[in-house]
Amino acid sequence: MKNPILLTGIIFAFLCFTHPNTSFGAEGEILKIDKNQFKTLIMDYEKNPTTWKFQGKLPVIVDFYADWCGPCRTASPILEELARKYKGKIVVYKVNTDQERELGTVFKISTIPAFLWVPAHGGPTMSSGIARTPEATKEQFEKMIQEMLLKK
């Protein structure tokens, strides 16, 4: 290939789309993912239906949400703030349960918002709902990040 800039761009794109926990956006941003991205970035539940096998390197929060959900809209800016605060330490993804019904079924999502907390080592934990105030929700999320994901 005669154009080194084009070759560099192709290599960069390949690395971004194949490396676990790549957020495709700027570091500290939340990425909305679909089923295929979930299987690549987090866990391929089709290849490993009975055993949890985390694909990534950094701990992950997956926010299962819907656009019409009021509590989901309350949680969203808090998660955006925490994604920035903990950039380089955790990754935050969002899954729209209206568009990704299979993921909702696989993880038995019955109420939203629901959150999948995935440490870098060990099994995940699912939680649902948020506190009544944004301040209390942020405090809950900070505690979960520290105790479950960063193990502090």
Q: Which residues are catalytic?
A: 69, 72
CA-closest candidate to residue 88, choices 27, 5, 18, 3 = 27
Instruction: Dig out the tokens for 92 from the structure.
Output: 């935050």
Angle at 23 between CA 19 and CA 5, to 5 degrees: 70
> Residue 54 and residue 22: Cα distance in Å, rounded?
14
